[in-house]
Amino acid sequence: MANNGDKNGVVNVLDLPINTPKNKISSAFNFSRDKFYGSILSRYIQKYDFFSGRNVAAKTNTDLIIGGDPVVEGQRVGKKFNYGQLGGFFLSVNLGYKISDHFSLGAYVNNILDTNNYEFVASPPSERTYGAELKIRL
Q: What is the 3-state secondary structure (H, E, C) of the chain?
A: CCCCCCCCCCCCCCCCCCCCCCCEEEEEEEEEECCEEEEEEEEEEEEECEEECCEEECCCEEEEEECCEEECCCEEECCEEECCCEEEEEEEEEEEEECCCCEEEEEEEECCCCCCEECCCCCCCECCEEEEEEEECC
User: Looking at residue 27, what is its pLDDT?
Assistant: 98
| Angstrom distances, CA of residue 10 to CA of 2, 65, 131 | 11, 12, 46
pLDDT of residue 107: 99
Query: What pLDDT does residue 136 have?
Result: 97
Within 10 angstroms of residue 18's Cβ, the number of other Cβ atoms is 16
Task: Enter the pTM of the model.
Answer: 0.71
Each residue's pLDDT, cut to its tens digit, for the chain (138 residues) gives 566 666 677 776 666 556 788 899 999 999 999 999 999 999 999 999 888 777 888 999 998 888 888 999 989 888 888 888 999 999 999 999 999 999 999 999 999 999 988 888 878 888 999 999 999 999
Q: Are 110 and 128 in contact (CB under 8 A)?
A: yes
CA atoms of 36 and 97, how far apart (whole Å): 5
**Phi and psi angles of residue 18, each rounded to the nearest 5 degrees, phi first:** -80, 95
Type of residue found at 2: A
